[in-house]
Amino acid sequence: MGYTIEFEPIGRRGECPEGATLLEAAQALGVDLVSVCGGAGTCGRCKVQIVAGVVSPLTERERKALGEAELAQGYRLACRARLLGDCRVHVPPESLTAPQRTQVEGLQVLVQPDPAVRAYEVRPKPASLADPRADEVRLRAAMLRAHQLEPVRFDLALLQQLSPRLRPVGAVHEPPLQAVHEPPLQAVHEPPLLSLALRGDEGVAVGTAGTRWLGLAVDIGSTKIAGYLVDLGSGQTPAAQGLMNPQMAYGEDIIARLNHAGKGPAEAARLQELLVAALNGLAADLCRQAGAQPAQIVDAVAVGNTAIHHLFLRLPVRQLAQSPYVPAVSSALDVKARDLGLAFAPGAYVHTLPNIAGFVGADHVAMLLATGIAEAQGLTLAIDIGTNTEMCLASGGQLMSASCASGPAFEGAHIRFGMRAAPGAIERVRIDGDRVSCQTIGHQPPVGICGSGLLDAVAQLRQGGILDRSGRLLDHPCVRQGDGGREFVLAGAEEGGGRAITLGQNDVRELQLAKGAIRSGIDLLLAVAGRRAEELERVIIAGAFGTYIDVASAIAIGMLPDLPLDRFQQVGNAAGTGARLALISQEMRRAAAELAGRVRYLELARTPGFARTFAQAMYL
């Protein structure tokens, strides 16, 4: 029994079974609904409006999550409402995950290209009755002759393509072929000049001479993926592109995804296949931009946090999602791309950088690589702010890393009008007396507030004396009593498309939790190292979110230590840069493995003084 469901204004429609939730229907039809909690009914982000049709009755959770006005307008949570008839559903912009800003630029670091895969031009001798050696043997002999190199093995998929490449088109006769041994045919053709892509002693791809062999570096974030297509010969990056991580359909929260994958092999497979399909699409797009084919990609490097790393490699995740948070794998791996479902060159590998711990993954290692922090002499802090924030304190080659659960407030979750950095999101706030000015992404009418806007707003409220040190909203002409307590009106209903955008007391508390987690992490790292914040010579802020924050605001609310602004450096996607370095240079792969082994991992929750430091760091 199935019903027709239509999503407006996207115009996606299709049949779904009776009793399916609207979130499941959206996922089945490829509508990217926000779902931070993965459908558990707790985040309240998958709001949709029922325009027509029959769905299941309102639940208690929805009554709590939705305002009176929203309930009156037929708003529901897509993860709670179930299909009981044909349906038409309106999806408000803040409930859609795309389009969003993604970031692919990063640090420019120069290294000597020393890729794992190198190309060699070679012309095997033609086959004849006098020289009927196997094609593979003649290729091997030609390599030895021309380059004094003997490939020990060829990837099977390469061998499956080799013989036709050694023969000019039309040189092989048409069937039917003869069963008897024919008399010597003097059809000896000069084989074309070939380009053999060799990885160590293994042949991984073969093409015509001059084939441009490419590599792909990807930084797979929980939310966003950044891809870089690299020319392995020159080390140049002819194309780069970002896209959303499609696994978000199963929860923006990474733990929701781990829980989903932990349900069974089919669920884990689905999450992995979604990601791989996105990466294949990304590779195809990048190749199109560079005038190439994915079959030219002979090597790849992937980085991500430990959870993403495990979901990507379909490694077990249940032991990772609970104490003591043990990764299945932390060493760097070299895996055949085809074993993951990636459609690259026949024998291409994917190299994954090492993880350090359950909450400090390969993306952190890549960031350390790109920032060169291991070589820093003065006291240096590198920090990548996100739902999980990883940081590393370095001095004279000593490295100590930690991770804190800063939560998804910066991504807009658990914030009444929170949203990710999409068009219409308030990203900058200035409060001057009674006057509030907001700047939105794309200069659209405001529909919500994103992380950098939230940071700005709280900093301005604090500086304007509208928030006290404990985070309590004081009286002010813009502060009013709302559904869920006191709130500050950022944009009136006339600007916000009939709906005021406000910052509530609870929203401020959420931000305090997030910034408190980050600041206590910094303070504990410094304390364990026996150093003071003022000694920090450099603070490197990496990652997409870190690029957009106003450092002064972050200092104002106490998220970052109060240092001269010129000590801060916002470097963009350093993890992506690190992935590119490891793609171009084997020396960098060795350095990454060495780094991962050298980093001291500090488990913050077990560090003496944790509770006190955290409580202290919550103050504004």
Residue from 31, 159, 342, 579 in contact with its own copies (CB under 8 A): 159
Residue from 84, 329, 343, 500 in contact with its own copies (CB under 8 A): 329
Residue from 78, 313, 559, 618 in contact with its own copies (CB under 8 A): 313
Smaller CB separation from its own copies, 109 or 335: 335
Considering only residues 466-485, where is the footprint of its own copies by CB under 8 A?
none
Rounded to the nearest whole angstrom, what is the least distance from the CB of residue 145 to its own copies in the complex?
17
182 belongs to the binding site for its own copies (CB under 8 A): yes
| Beta carbons of 407 and 387 less than 8 angstroms apart | yes
Rounded to the nearest whole angstrom, what is the least distance from the CB of residue 130 to its own copies in the complex?
8
**Helices and strands, counts by H and E, the chain:** 16, 27
Q: Which stretch binds its own copies (CB under 8 A): 162-170, 278-286, 363-371, 540-548?
A: 162-170
Smaller CB separation from its own copies, 359 or 548: 359
Residue from 194, 357, 368, 379 in contact with its own copies (CB under 8 A): 357
Residue from 8, 86, 273, 603 in contact with its own copies (CB under 8 A): 603
Considering only residues 19-58, where is the footprint of its own copies by CB under 8 A?
40
Smaller CB separation from its own copies, 491 or 513: 513
| Stretch (H or E) spanning 108 | none
**What phi, psi does 209 have (nearest 5°)?**
-55, 140
In the block, tokens 């640090």 appear at 107
208 belongs to the binding site for its own copies (CB under 8 A): no
Total residues in contact with its own copies, by rule CB under 8 A: 73
| Beta carbons of 228 and 580 less than 8 angstroms apart | yes
Considering only residues 533-592, where is the footprint of its own copies by CB under 8 A?
none
Smaller CB separation from its own copies, 50 or 157: 157
Closest CA to 44 of 64, 70, 24, 21: 64
314 belongs to the binding site for its own copies (CB under 8 A): yes
Smaller CB separation from its own copies, 71 or 328: 328
Smaller CB separation from its own copies, 258 or 489: 258
Buried-state track 555-592, b at ≥16 Cβ within 10 A, e below 16: bbbbbbbebeeebbeebbbbbbbbbbbbbbbbebbebb
Closest CA to 296 of 309, 285, 287, 306: 287
Q: Which stretch binds its own copies (CB under 8 A): 1-9, 11-19, 127-135, 476-484?
A: 127-135
Smaller CB separation from its own copies, 339 or 375: 339
- CA–CA gap between residue 308 and residue 205 (Å, rounded): 29
| Beta carbons of 5 and 14 less than 8 angstroms apart | yes
Residue from 63, 64, 173, 598 in contact with its own copies (CB under 8 A): 173
Q: What is the dihedral of CA 102, 445, 253, 385, to 10 degrees?
A: 60
The distance of Cα 448 from the centroid of its chain, to the nearest Å, equals 23
170 belongs to the binding site for its own copies (CB under 8 A): no
179 belongs to the binding site for its own copies (CB under 8 A): yes
Rounded to the nearest whole angstrom, what is the least distance from the CB of residue 34 to its own copies in the complex?
17
**What phi, psi does 486 have (nearest 5°)?**
-70, 145
- CA–CA gap between residue 433 and residue 476 (Å, rounded): 9
Residue from 54, 69, 137, 474 in contact with its own copies (CB under 8 A): 137
604 belongs to the binding site for its own copies (CB under 8 A): yes
Residue from 100, 211, 259, 406 in contact with its own copies (CB under 8 A): 259
266 belongs to the binding site for its own copies (CB under 8 A): no
Smaller CB separation from its own copies, 52 or 605: 605
334 belongs to the binding site for its own copies (CB under 8 A): yes
Rounded to the nearest whole angstrom, what is the least distance from the CB of residue 177 to its own copies in the complex?
4
Helix ranges, 301-447 (H): 306-312, 362-371
Distances (CA, A) of 107 to 240, 244, 543, 580: 14, 21, 11, 10
The encoded tokens of residue 156 equal 């099977």
| Per-residue 3-state assignment (H helix, E strand, C coil) for 505-520 | HHHHHHHHHHHHHHHH
Rounded to the nearest whole angstrom, what is the least distance from the CB of residue 479 to its own copies in the complex?
31
- CA–CA gap between residue 413 and residue 224 (Å, rounded): 16
